[in-house]
Structure 1
């Protein structure tokens, strides 16, 4: 979780959206990480899942803010996490 917070703290271009970081871990190792870089771009969870690839199945996501559940310019992150 600390790494997810660090990732979110390093971003200053997401305004007006919140700064969010995400780490995907499996068996104690980080297999994907990401952050929300700018409005309209992929959210932290989707970036981290993309980096983790198929290894994300049965992994744990650590997110610095609750995953969104609505559709706006991007799809709902909670659905992406469940689908992985």
Structure 2
């Protein structure tokens, strides 16, 4: 059984994977990446690697 924190981690990781799918077919040769920034239990930033040669998911999430 997962702890409450582990269950939240799984939830946010699932969201990051969902965001990463937005980069399908546009990030090659880089991987598809999603990023979720959480503070005090609230999502404060989200992003994904949109296109090869452009800012990565973390940069987009931090800009929010």
TM class by shorter chain equals: 0.7 to 0.9
Unmatched segments (≥5 aa) in structure 2: 1-12
Q: Distance in 2 between matches of 1:47 and 1:10?
A: 13
Normalising by structure 2, we get a TM-score of 0.74
Normalising by structure 1, we get a TM-score of 0.57
1:20 lines up with 2:33 in the alignment: yes
Higher Rg of the two aligned structures: 2
Runs of 4+ displaced beyond 6 Å: none
Count residues in correspondence.
51
Contact 2:32–2:48 at 8 Å: present in 1 too? yes
Match of 1:75 in 2: none
